[in-house]
Amino acid sequence: MSIYTGPVFEMARTQFHRIADHLAIPADERDRLLYPKRAIAVSCPIHRDDGTTAVFQGYRVQHHLTLGPTKGGTRFAPSVDIGEVGALAVWMSWKCALAGLPYGGAKGGVTVDPRSLSRHELEALSRRYMQEMIPFVGPHTDVMAPDMGTNEQIMAWFMDTYSMYQGQTVMEIVTGKPVAVGGTLGRKEATGRGVAYLVERAMGRLGVPMAGATAIVQGFGNVGSVTVASLADRGVKLIGVSDHTACYADPRGLDVSALLQHVDKAGILAGFSTEALADPAGLLARPCDILVPAAMERVIDAAMAKRLQCRVLAEAANGPTTPDADEVLEQRPEIFVLPDILCNAGGVIVSYFEWVQDLQQFFWDEAEVTDRLYRVLQRAFAQVMERAGREGVSHRTAAMAIGVQKVRDAKQARGLFP
């Protein structure tokens, strides 16, 4: 028994054992690779605006420290529990290793709907969470970043809180910060830009032009919205989109700049249009060239995988596709899967660039950031394609095999202490 229970960790475990079988990793080596090194649970009390005290549960899971500090986002969402955070930390490890970054994976979170807090309460919770984490994190131990429900402002509060306790500014404790306080140009856009870049690579392999291709995007947070904008820049037509407040579809194409302007002002999709309203349950199964789940994990199960009508499945979210759905997709070679640990790696890759710039206090221009991002993604994409082709396995199996193998090699080289 471990503390990592629930369907999301179960999914990470099943995926890992499939890869371990593929790599013929002996049973006695598996727990060392799968189970996180450390997990921290904290209670975060804050004063609410009405004078009462509220306590929120927070977590941080550090998967392995074999290759350097751990790295990963902090999620503020009602779904957060230790199993979900643990799974997300494990996935971060394979993602960082695939991209060749000198990190293990981590993830943190607070069980809260951030929309239920005032700005003042959100600041109090963010600062208290970081304060509780001070004994466990550090620029060479564990470096946080944004994830679902957190943003640049929260990263600035994290950085400020950590720095106030250290008595000096420590920019490199957190990535995804505003540029004004040591953030890098191009970080906010990195994940979505990376998704669009990889979709273009995938479509190139299929021989389908981007201009005029159709896309459906589920989720309109930072990743979903930048993906939509980056795909539109490449001439792709957006025919369906949703967030937690609304779902719109129109086979003739939605007006992307009007949509982005609306969300810029309103913060949510609701209120954009009355004509294009659609049923969110059927969104993923609509016919399109490019399908981008950019919201929650486990939205594509086996039943949904059978219904998909896309050419490219670009997993911008972490863990959107269940292992059962993977079995279905392996029988559907007409769908080109860009697995999450490759597809959404742009975020952590540019987080790495931010950390490097902060450590050196030497900052790059945006073109340099984006150019380096694409080079790292291109290398990872080529490795996944080559391995999938050579071993006759799915893109997910190939991507995960590369990630798991790198961590395993590092553990073997370092040995077991003492």
288/399 with CB nearer ligand GLU: 399
Shortest distance in whole angstroms from residue 268 CB to ligand GLU: 21
Pairwise CA distance, residues 237 & 229, whole Å: 10
Pairwise CA distance, residues 256 & 275, whole Å: 15
**Residues marked as catalytic:** 107
Pairwise CA distance, residues 289 & 33, whole Å: 37
Cβ neighbours for 250, distance < 8 A, ≥ 6 positions apart: 239, 240, 275, 276
Pairwise CA distance, residues 30 & 41, whole Å: 25
174/256 with CB nearer ligand GLU: 174
CA neighbor of 373 nearest in space, from 110, 180, 158, 186: 186
Say if CB 238 and CB 269 are below 8 A apart. Answer: no
Shortest distance in whole angstroms from residue 296 CB to ligand GLU: 13
Shortest distance in whole angstroms from residue 241 CB to ligand GLU: 21
176/183 with CB nearer ligand GLU: 176
214/318 with CB nearer ligand GLU: 318
Shortest distance in whole angstroms from residue 341 CB to ligand GLU: 9
Shortest distance in whole angstroms from residue 133 CB to ligand GLU: 15
Pairwise CA distance, residues 134 & 160, whole Å: 12
Pairwise CA distance, residues 112 & 116, whole Å: 8
What is the SS3 assignment for 416?
coil
Pairwise CA distance, residues 132 & 160, whole Å: 14
Binding site for ligand GLU (CB under 6 A): 71-73, 145, 147, 175-176, 318, 344, 347-348, 351
Pairwise CA distance, residues 404 & 19, whole Å: 8
Say if CB 62 and CB 37 are below 8 A apart. Answer: yes
**Residue of minimal CB distance from ligand GLU?**
73
76/248 with CB nearer ligand GLU: 76
Pairwise CA distance, residues 408 & 418, whole Å: 18
